[in-house]
Structure 1
Amino acid sequence: MDVRSLGLGLAFALMWSSAFTSARVIVAHAPPLTALTARFLASGVVAIGIALALRQTARLSRSQWRGVVVFGLCQNALYLGLNFVAMQSIGASVASIIASTMPLLVALIGWVLLRDRLPRLAAIGLVAGFGGVAIIMGGRMAGGLDLFAVGLCVVAALALAAATLAVRGAAAGGNLMMVVGLQMLVGAAALLPPAVLLESWQVDWNWALVVAFAYTVLVPGVLATLVWFVLVGRIGAVKAATFHFLNPVFGVLIAALLLGEALGALDALGVAVVAAGILAVQTARRASAKTGASAPAAEQPGQAVGFIPETAQEDVMFDYSDSHSTISSDRVNGTEVYGAGGEKIGHIDHLVIDKKSGKITYAVMGFGGFLGMGEEHHPIPWAKLEYDTALGGYRTDITESQLQGAPERPERWYEDRRWEEATYAHYGAPYYWI
């Protein structure tokens, strides 16, 4: 795993875990369901705005619409709604610990109900993970713990785990930010009736509430989503899900640092055991994917994400060692591209393939931008890229001046032979159609 992917994974885990602390601040000053409805509405508008800026549309596949509805109801309305209500009575650290068991619940439900194979390491991880939760809860109960609120958090985690299994294997199909935004709006629509019927509009306006609400909308709500999908695009869903083992650690530490929640010896021990259990389950999942065993779909990054396609089958089909010449296009997308001097100049966004011959004709490279937004894209001949095992990416002798001086692209450039001839001549590459 390269440094950038590691950084993205750590950033996602940190943002996901911090959402419990900001949520605890919000419910201390505002009715939980009303606040969450407003949060989903704001996050949904922002996400759809980003999607429209990226020229994404709401023309989704049937599996995408199913994911929008299922996760909008189960993840946004049930999972987050129940957690927000529960955090009126329990701390953010306890809620984050219970929520972090979701990867364990996915594996457990898949094994018990769906008869998914459970490797020995995963079984050990399940026992350790739930044992760690028992250690934490045992210590907290001695000091007084609202069991009803704990039950709400458990039901919330089960709802999200069930939703994850219900739509596993669904194709992503693009328009990811639009999917995320629509999920948010589904969550807002589902929570609005109970918010109006069950809560009164009593808000203690103060700077802490405003900052926490804005943070929850923009960071866990939108930015974490972008980071997650960039990470999945770089290393695949199975590897990306391994970062979930950091969630209980970050969740407890952030709550202790920002809210002053107590962190005792049993808490530290339990968190370490839970994290180890989650890591074991995810490691076993990666191993089973490589050996061809069935594996559950990777978890969704709670708080604000769309569903993702399962990538385990690609791990079975392709050998990714440097000694092998084949590679899945999923692994090419996102790979860094380096100049002749070894400097990083961009990354591969996607490939263009000739339908008749099956040859890769172009690699569309992305330059600049932030998390995929505002990037410039240039199709360059595939023949101008050479894989460098030492760099772990592709090397090219194309210069920035060549990119800037490339022939102007018509709207359907990939069907314009005149443009292709001019482009291949510009870069000094042999025609792929000869």
Structure 2
Amino acid sequence: MDIRSLGLGLAFALMWSSAFTSARVVVSYAPPLTALTLRFLASGAVAIGIALALRQTARLTAAQWRGVVVFGLCQNAVYLGLNFVAMQWIGASVASIIASTMPLLVALIGWIVLRERLSPLAAAGLAAGFAGVAVIMLGRMAGGIDLLGLALCAVAALALAIATLAVRGAASGGNLMMVVGLQMLVGAAALMVPALLLESWVVDWTWPLAVAFTYTVLVPGVLATLVWFVLVGRIGAVRAATFHFLNPVFGVLIAAVLLGEALGPGDALGVVVVAAGILAVQIARRPRPGTGAAARPAEQPAGAVRFSVRTAREDSMFDYSDSHTTISSDRVNGTEVFGKDGGRVGHIDHLVIDKKSGKITYAVMGFGGFLGMGEEHHPIPWAKLDYDTDLGGYRTDITEDQLRGAPARPERWFEDRRWEEATYAHYGAPYYWI
């Protein structure tokens, strides 16, 4: 995993964990579904406004639209909706611990529904994770925790697992900020009816409510969701879910510091066990050369994520060693690109392949921007990249100035031979069609 992905994962875990504390404050002063509907409307408006400023459009692929709808319903309406309602009766720390079981549920779904074989490490991680939750919940129930709140959080975590498996299709195809905004509006539309039917407009207007609501809209609402889409697009849903093992730790600590929620020895032990179990499951799901079958997400033509099983032979084929010249495409996307001096130039966004010859013609490289916003993408000749095992990325003699000074691309640049000739000449690369 590259440094950028690691930073994105840590940032996501911290922002996502803090949402439970801000939500607990919001529902203390306002009806939960109404507050959440307004949050989604505000977050969606902010995200779409940013998308329009970045000249993004709502012309999405079919896979993106499916991801927008499923993610908007499962994560926003069901997951967050149930958590907001539940936090009227349970603490933010408990809600964050239950939500953190999402990677365990992903593995459990793979085992029960998808007939995925579990390695001993994965099975042990599942057992440890749920055992840690049981330790915490038993201690809390002895103190009189609300069982309905626990049940709502459990259903919410299951919905989040489904959303995670569906998000991959929405993370590719461009217009990322527009995707974030639209799935917020889907959540608002889904929650608006129950909010109007079940709740009355009784709000205690205070400065803690204003601060918590604003924070929830901008940080967990827009920024964390954007980071999650970018992270899943870079490293896949299963690897990205690894960072959820930090959520019980961050969630409990933030709730203890800001809300003064009690943290006993049993809670601390349970959090450590849950985090260890989640981490064990994610490590076990990563393919390793020579370790036998391991599950990895693979994107279907329709954009949905399934889990396939690789053999030890396939795992050794698809590593980065110098003993062979083959590599899986999912190991290329997101890989860093370095210049002659070893400085980072950008990263590989995706590859372009000639359908007739099967040759890789271009690597579309992303550079600049922040968390995927404002990032520029340029197709560069594949021949200008060489993999450097010491750097763990591709080395090129192309400079950022050359990227910015490349020939302007027509809308269908991949069909314009004159543009291709000018581009290959600009970078000093041999024509792939000769």
Q: Give the TM-score of the pair, scaled to structure 1.
A: 0.88
Compute the displacement of 1:359 (Å). 1.7
Instruction: Report the secondary structure of 2:363's partner residue.
Output: strand
Q: Partner of 1:319 in structure 2?
A: 318
Compute the displacement of 1:404 (Å). 4.2
Compute the displacement of 1:164 (Å). 5.4
Contact 1:233 1:330 in 2 (8 A): no
Percent identity over the alignment is: 78
Q: Partner of 2:61 in structure 1?
A: 60
Q: Number of residues paired by the alignment?
A: 424
Q: Partner of 2:48 in structure 1?
A: 48
Q: Which amino acid aligns with 2:86?
A: A
Taking structure 1 as reference, are residues 297 and 28 closer, same or farther at Cα in structure 2, changes over 3 Å only?
A: farther
Q: Partner of 1:254 in structure 2?
A: 254
Query: 1:339-389: per-residue Cα shift (whole Å, max 9, x none)?
Result: 111111222233222222222222232221111222233332222222111
Say yes or no: does 1:414 pair with 2:419.
no
Instruction: Report the secondary structure of 2:107's partner residue.
Output: helix
Taking structure 1 as reference, are residues 311 and 414 closer, same or farther at Cα in structure 2, changes over 3 Å only?
A: farther
Contact 2:172 2:233 in 1 (8 A): no
Instruction: Report the secondary structure of 1:271's partner residue.
Output: helix
Contact 2:27 2:88 in 1 (8 A): yes
For residues 11-410 of structure 1, what are the structure 2 equivalents within 5 Å? 11-52=11-52, 53-61=54-62, 63-161=63-161, 167=166, 174=173, 175-287=175-287, 291-294=292-295, 309-310=305-306, 316=314, 318-323=317-322, 324-410=324-410
Structure 2, unaligned runs of 5 or more: none
Contact 1:51 1:57 in 2 (8 A): no
Question: Following the alignment from structure 2 to structure 1, what is the Cα–Cα distance between the partners of residues 181 and 214?
Answer: 16
Taking structure 1 as reference, are residues 282 and 78 closer, same or farther at Cα in structure 2, changes over 3 Å only?
A: same
Compute the displacement of 1:219 (Å). 1.5
Instruction: Report the secondary structure of 1:390's partner residue.
Output: coil
Contact 2:406 2:423 in 1 (8 A): yes
Question: Following the alignment from structure 1 to structure 2, what is the Cα–Cα distance between the partners of residues 8 and 232?
Answer: 10
Q: Partner of 1:425 in structure 2?
A: 425
Compute the displacement of 1:231 (Å). 2.3
Contact 2:125 2:279 in 1 (8 A): yes
Contact 1:238 1:312 in 2 (8 A): no
Contact 1:237 1:311 in 2 (8 A): no
Taking structure 1 as reference, are residues 238 and 157 closer, same or farther at Cα in structure 2, changes over 3 Å only?
A: closer
Query: 1:76-111: per-residue Cα shift (whole Å, max 9, x none)?
Result: 222211111111111100111111122223333443
Query: 1:202-237: per-residue Cα shift (whole Å, max 9, x none)?
Result: 212222212211221222122122222332333333
Taking structure 1 as reference, are residues 338 and 182 closer, same or farther at Cα in structure 2, changes over 3 Å only?
A: same
Instruction: Report the secondary structure of 2:391's partner residue.
Output: coil
Q: Which amino acid aligns with 2:420?
A: E
Question: Following the alignment from structure 1 to structure 2, what is the Cα–Cα distance between the partners of residues 76 and 375?
Answer: 26
Q: Which amino acid aligns with 1:60?
A: T
Compute the displacement of 1:41 (Å). 1.4
Contact 1:292 1:313 in 2 (8 A): yes
Instruction: Report the secondary structure of 2:410's partner residue.
Output: coil
- Cα-Cα RMSD: 2.8
Question: Following the alignment from structure 2 to structure 1, what is the Cα–Cα distance between the partners of residues 68 and 229?
Answer: 16
Structure 1, unaligned runs of 5 or more: 299-306
Q: Partner of 1:302 in structure 2?
A: none
Question: Following the alignment from structure 1 to structure 2, what is the Cα–Cα distance between the partners of residues 236 and 73?
Answer: 21
Taking structure 1 as reference, are residues 74 and 230 closer, same or farther at Cα in structure 2, changes over 3 Å only?
A: closer
Taking structure 1 as reference, are residues 145 and 8 closer, same or farther at Cα in structure 2, changes over 3 Å only?
A: same
Contact 1:132 1:271 in 2 (8 A): yes
Q: Which amino acid aligns with 1:376?
A: E
Instruction: Report the secondary structure of 1:262's partner residue.
Output: coil
Question: Following the alignment from structure 2 to structure 1, what is the Cα–Cα distance between the partners of residues 362 and 114?
Answer: 42
Contact 2:15 2:220 in 1 (8 A): yes
Taking structure 1 as reference, are residues 74 and 401 closer, same or farther at Cα in structure 2, changes over 3 Å only?
A: closer
Taking structure 1 as reference, are residues 74 and 238 closer, same or farther at Cα in structure 2, changes over 3 Å only?
A: closer
Question: Following the alignment from structure 2 to structure 1, what is the Cα–Cα distance between the partners of residues 427 and 297?
Answer: 44
Question: Following the alignment from structure 1 to structure 2, what is the Cα–Cα distance between the partners of residues 185 and 49?
Answer: 13
Taking structure 1 as reference, are residues 92 and 353 closer, same or farther at Cα in structure 2, changes over 3 Å only?
A: same
Q: Which amino acid aligns with 1:116?
A: E
Q: Which amino acid aligns with 1:397?
A: D
Taking structure 1 as reference, are residues 297 and 81 closer, same or farther at Cα in structure 2, changes over 3 Å only?
A: farther
Instruction: Report the secondary structure of 2:134's partner residue.
Output: helix
Query: 1:280-323: per-residue Cα shift (whole Å, max 9, x none)?
Result: 2222222499744556789xxxxxxxx97457568957512322
Taking structure 1 as reference, are residues 199 and 408 closer, same or farther at Cα in structure 2, changes over 3 Å only?
A: closer
Contact 1:337 1:347 in 2 (8 A): yes
Contact 2:286 2:294 in 1 (8 A): no
Contact 1:421 1:431 in 2 (8 A): yes
Taking structure 1 as reference, are residues 195 and 86 closer, same or farther at Cα in structure 2, changes over 3 Å only?
A: same
Question: Following the alignment from structure 1 to structure 2, what is the Cα–Cα distance between the partners of residues 44 and 342?
Answer: 40
Instruction: Report the secondary structure of 2:262's partner residue.
Output: coil
Instruction: Report the secondary structure of 1:276's partner residue.
Output: helix
Q: Partner of 1:301 in structure 2?
A: none
Taking structure 1 as reference, are residues 369 and 180 closer, same or farther at Cα in structure 2, changes over 3 Å only?
A: closer
Taking structure 1 as reference, are residues 370 and 178 closer, same or farther at Cα in structure 2, changes over 3 Å only?
A: same
